[in-house]
Amino acid sequence: MRPPNTAVLQAYCHSVHIVHSVHIVHSVHIVHIVHIMTTAIPCSTCAPRAPFPARDISTLLARHNRLWGERWQCWCESVQPPWWGRGLVISPDLRGRYESYLPVREYLASITRLAEVFLPDASWLPIVLHNTGGCGCLPASPPYASIADYWATLPDGLAGKLCLTADELLPLFCALADPPRYGTTTGRYPEQLAELDELFRHWPPHTPLHLLDIGSGVGLNTLEIATHAATLAPQAALAVTGVSAERLEVWMASARRLPHDPQREKKLRDFSCDLPVAFVYGRAEDFFLPGRFDIAICNGLAGGRFLHQPAHIAAFLDRCAKALHTNGRLFLANRFHDGHRDQLDALVAIARDNGWTCHGSPHTLRLQPPATAR
């Protein structure tokens, strides 16, 4: 793998030095806390700073493990197995039993308290933990119906666990920020990629080619598109920006690390470090970035679960229009099931009502904004 492109990464990276110290947090747990300190080492080996843990977590983690270890023991003594396993059908009766002994609202509140200490600040909390009562209050409406439904969203190494080691906290919080069901990987939108390839092949040499990926996740699709652009338009002045509303996703994409998913991490690391790509924090409906972009991409987001309200769609399109150059284009792709068709049709209707030109199918759209938006 070649050294990273310093012009892109210097503004976003700090080199790191890792020192381990051992803390005994429970009579049955010996865990390692990883301290990250900035050092001045060559930029060719720099990586985005990993500020975890932000504060000492040992006392709070011991308290969490003691409480939930006792509850798990009570559960095992009171409820006959099977208790939980991947693919186990959770009947209403079993779900009710889980809630009686292992209430998911209380567990999420405890996990959120850990995250508030482990992560740099509240803005780093995975969105699924927002409003989960980390400061002692219980969430009004938990995102999972039971602890079993919560486990079902986690990778195998974390699913089925209540007590945690310090080394498992970063993978857990990353898994909550980047759940497997989102399917963020390469090769998901071949029709869109073929359209982009055609543009890249005919891009004028020695001119800027600025790409924006909104909702970039952990960066796999962003890096895939950047690789195609760098290959097919080698003489263009390429610069690519990925935007995510999850700060942990920004860190994962920038660091090329997926602590919860080694297989996809390998895919991330397979991309060239010379690609001029930067990842930043921002929400689709109110992001702001300096400069203008020639092409914006937003895949698996607009018209789906997290971006479908008419006001949010209108705000998203307004931000895109302001971010694009004259004659810029917005590409939208998704793999939503048919239940989202009305939302996708509404998105197109809102775009046309606001002067956008729309082409393509509901699952692969190409939009050009009105000139009056600038």
The pLDDT value recorded for residue 337 is: 81
On whether residue 151 sits in a domain, the answer given is yes
Residues 96 and 140 in one domain: yes
Reported residue count of the chain is: 374
On whether residue 28 sits in a domain, the answer given is no
Please count the structural domains in the chain: 2
**pLDDT over threshold 80, residue 141:** no
- Min mean pLDDT across 39-53, 174-188, 248-262, 304-318 is at 39-53
In the chain, DSSP finds a helix count (H) and a strand count (E) of 12, 9
Tokens standing for residue 312: 């949010």
The pLDDT value recorded for residue 263 is: 92
Residues 124 and 220 in one domain: no
Residues 6+ apart with CB under 8 A from 80: none
The pLDDT value recorded for residue 119 is: 97
Confidence of residue 182 (pLDDT cuts 50, 70, 90): low
CB of 193 closer than 8 Å to CB of 225? yes
The pLDDT value recorded for residue 70 is: 98
Query: How many whole angstroms separate alpha carbon 350 and alpha carbon 358?
Result: 11
- Min mean pLDDT across 41-50, 52-61, 155-164, 177-186 is at 41-50
The pLDDT value recorded for residue 373 is: 59
C-beta atoms surrounding 125 within 10 Å? 22
Residues 162 and 82 in one domain: yes
What are the start-end ranges of the H helices in the chain? 6-9, 58-78, 92-101, 104-118, 147-151, 169-177, 190-201, 220-232, 247-255, 262-270, 310-323, 341-353
Tokens standing for residue 158: 């974390």
Query: How many whole angstroms separate alpha carbon 169 and alpha carbon 273?
Result: 27
Supply angle C-alpha 168, 170, 172, rounded to 5.
Answer: 65
CATH number assigned to the domain comprising residue 337: 3.40.50.150
What burial class does residue 103 get, using C-beta atoms within 10 Å of its C-beta: 0-12 exposed, 13-18 middle, 19+ buried? Answer: middle
Confidence of residue 35 (pLDDT cuts 50, 70, 90): very low
Query: How many whole angstroms separate alpha carbon 126 and alpha carbon 247?
Result: 8
For residue 60, the SS3 value is helix
Question: Could you tell me the residue range of the domain that residue 117 belongs to?
Answer: 56-177
The pLDDT value recorded for residue 84 is: 87
On whether residue 92 sits in a domain, the answer given is yes
Average pLDDT over residues 306-314: 93
The pLDDT value recorded for residue 181 is: 67
Residues 105 and 230 in one domain: no
Stated pTM of the model: 0.84
Per-residue pLDDT of 204-229, as tens digits, reads: 999 999 999 999 999 999 999 999 99
Residues 337 and 217 in one domain: yes
Average pLDDT over residues 136-160: 83
Residues 145 and 194 in one domain: no
Per-residue pLDDT of 265-303, as tens digits, reads: 999 999 999 999 999 999 999 999 999 999 999 999 999
On whether residue 366 sits in a domain, the answer given is yes
Residues 6+ apart with CB under 8 A from 68: 102, 107, 110, 162, 163
On whether residue 203 sits in a domain, the answer given is yes
The pLDDT value recorded for residue 305 is: 86
C-alpha gyration radius of the chain: 22
Report the candidate in 270, 207, 281, 273 with the shortest Cα–Cα distance to residue 243.
281
Q: What percent of the chain has pLDDT over 70?
A: 83
Q: What percent of the chain has pLDDT over 90?
A: 74
Query: How many whole angstroms separate alpha carbon 186 and alpha carbon 350?
Result: 29
Structure-derived torsion over alpha carbons of residues 71, 76, 80, 86, reported in degrees to the nearest 10 = 80
Residues 69 and 164 in one domain: yes
Boundary residue ending a domain (121, 155, 177): 177
Average pLDDT over residues 90-118: 95
Query: How many whole angstroms separate alpha carbon 144 and alpha carbon 152?
Result: 10
Q: How far is the CA of 95 from the CAs of 39, 140, 150, in angstroms? A: 49, 18, 12
- What's the mean pLDDT when you consider all of the chain? 85
Boundary residue ending a domain (177, 211, 238): 177
Query: How many whole angstroms separate alpha carbon 306 and alpha carbon 153?
Result: 17
Which residue in the block uniquely carries the two structure tokens 């920020």?
A: 177
266 or 17, greater pLDDT: 266
Residues 327 and 266 in one domain: yes
On whether residue 156 sits in a domain, the answer given is yes
On whether residue 93 sits in a domain, the answer given is yes
CB of 240 closer than 8 Å to CB of 278? yes
Residues 199 and 264 in one domain: yes
Report the candidate in 269, 265, 272, 264 with the shortest Cα–Cα distance to residue 234.
272
Residues 327 and 272 in one domain: yes
Residues 6+ apart with CB under 8 A from 36: 16, 17, 18, 49, 50, 51, 52
Average pLDDT over residues 42-66: 78
On whether residue 31 sits in a domain, the answer given is no
Residues 160 and 212 in one domain: no
CB of 272 closer than 8 Å to CB of 1? yes
Average pLDDT over residues 156-166: 96
Q: Which amino acid is at 98?
A: Y
- C-alpha of 120 from chain center: 17
Residues 258 and 359 in one domain: yes
Residues 6+ apart with CB under 8 A from 325: 210, 292, 293, 294
Boundary residue ending a domain (122, 148, 177): 177
